[in-house]
Chain A
């Protein structure tokens, strides 16, 4: 009887399998933050972002760039460092229920990755098209680039890195080596950021206009394909979760 009571108490105190509050708060963080960023673009893009030699450009855009660099490096260092430092050193001996809970947390991270990829690769990248097809650039660090390349891309890279690290440090499924398609899904989109070097080099030395389908942009396309690696992650997760639930669903 005593043991039963203890077990019931343990169940009541147990963390939920999926922490929905964290998931919605995380999603809200991205949406609210990017809503504010879009407001900032709307206000200071036209009023302070057209002439990179103007003092107000330095105030509103270059300072924005410097601040985001510092925050991104700090965030990546702290977040990735924390996930690695707090890794489970006995990951292969966790209970099935704990494993299931961690898969749920892993998926919370992947949902964040989905949101971050959407904003980076879809929302701010196509937005860059209309800005540069409208405004003639006089710098590599245009208002659109400061948001697209140096804010939205690092954010999905940080999020993707966190997903991968979480899986690698806490889930038995990912202990047999490095998951190839997972690495592709995270490292491919990451490579879009270094590819900015090619983009800026090309625009600086020979092609100031904006033709979105120009071969100069094909590096972004190639690395964008890597997002499909998420299908490999889905398949791996489905196999792992089916194993955990199989006999209960049969």
Chain B
């Protein structure tokens, strides 16, 4: 290759080529991250995300933020630290939510006939916006991990509350007390996931009923901070450009 030759014929063409690459890169990055993030999330927190009768005040609130802060931290580590693009977390969540919504409509409802108001995904967008804004304003990985990570965990339940509140209303059914969400699960039988597999509301401090969700959210926030640190460095490694040397 001769360094004196130009790859393009004019500045206008250079700009056009540059913009074309931007679109190609964004499309590919979006869908590859979507795929990796979605398979990660569905297999580490998926059951709580699939069904409303798994969306309890304890384990859903604890698990979902912890396992979902991973990819946003990693993608921020590249998009912000290399390109100063302040939307790493939001782009991850947009991808995840697109993958989930397409699936819940076309497959959960379209193939196995569960109503969408029984299997809609959790809302992770408030935490993602705050995570990106904290990084953009602070420019600090440590501040983002501590403040952003904490906000990520704490905002999860309030961010989903308007959607979930009607389904947590108690009802009496056949002499038993349950929530409307439980009742949905009771009527829409999932033979492959029997009731004994469902992990909700487990614990010894259930007498502190009203405190369950805040305690879980606070614990989740604490672990989210640690996970953010870890995945920031994962992201840095994955964004590397190293070659193994030919022997």
Q: Which residue of B1, B102, B234 has the most chain A CB atoms within 10 A of its CB atom?
A: B1
Q: What total of A-B pairs shows CB separation below 8 Å?
A: 254
Indicate if the CB atoms of B42 and A212 lie closer than 8 Å: yes
Q: A residues within 8 A CB of B43?
A: 212-213, 217-218, 220-221, 224
Encoded as 1 (CB less than 8 Å from any B CB) or 0, chain A from 118 to 148 comes to 1011110111011111111100000000000
Total chain B interface residues with beta-carbon distance under 8 A: 74
Indicate if the CB atoms of A100 and B32 lie closer than 8 Å: no
Indicate if the CB atoms of A133 and B33 lie closer than 8 Å: no
Indicate if the CB atoms of B29 and A234 lie closer than 8 Å: yes
Q: Which residue of A212, A213, A224, A228 has the most chain B CB atoms within 10 A of its CB atom?
A: A228
A241–B68 alpha-carbon span in the complex (Å): 33
Q: A residues within 8 A CB of B242?
A: 179-181, 232
Q: B residues within 8 A CB of A118?
A: 31-32, 34-35, 99
Encoded as 1 (CB less than 8 Å from any A CB) or 0, chain B from 182 to 207 comes to 00000000111110010000000000
Indicate if the CB atoms of A236 and B241 lie closer than 8 Å: yes
Q: Which residue of B8, B20, B33, B42 has the most chain A CB atoms within 10 A of its CB atom?
A: B42
Indicate if the CB atoms of A126 and B46 lie closer than 8 Å: yes
Given contacts A180-B243, A231-B239, A235-B78, are A17 and B17 in contact (CB under 8 A)? yes
Give the secondary structure class of B's interface.
Answer: helix
8 Å CB contact of A117 from B35, B82, B111: B35
Indicate if the CB atoms of B238 and A92 lie closer than 8 Å: no
The yes or no answer to B21 lying at the interface (CB within 8 A) is yes
Residue of A with least CB distance to B36: A227
Total chain A interface residues with beta-carbon distance under 8 A: 83
Give the secondary structure class of A's interface.
Answer: helix
Residue of A with least CB distance to B246: A177
A136–B197 alpha-carbon span in the complex (Å): 14
8 Å CB contact of A126 from B63, B99, B240: B99
A218–B44 alpha-carbon span in the complex (Å): 8
A177–B8 alpha-carbon span in the complex (Å): 27
A180–B244 alpha-carbon span in the complex (Å): 6
8 Å CB contact of B197 from A184, A211, A231: A211
A237–B20 alpha-carbon span in the complex (Å): 13
Give the interface of A toward B (CB within 8 A): 17-18, 38, 41-42, 45, 92-97, 99-100, 103-104, 107-108, 110-111, 113-115, 117-118, 120-123, 125-127, 129-137, 172, 176-181, 183-185, 189, 192, 209-213, 217-218, 220-221, 224-232, 234-239, 241, 244-245, 247-249
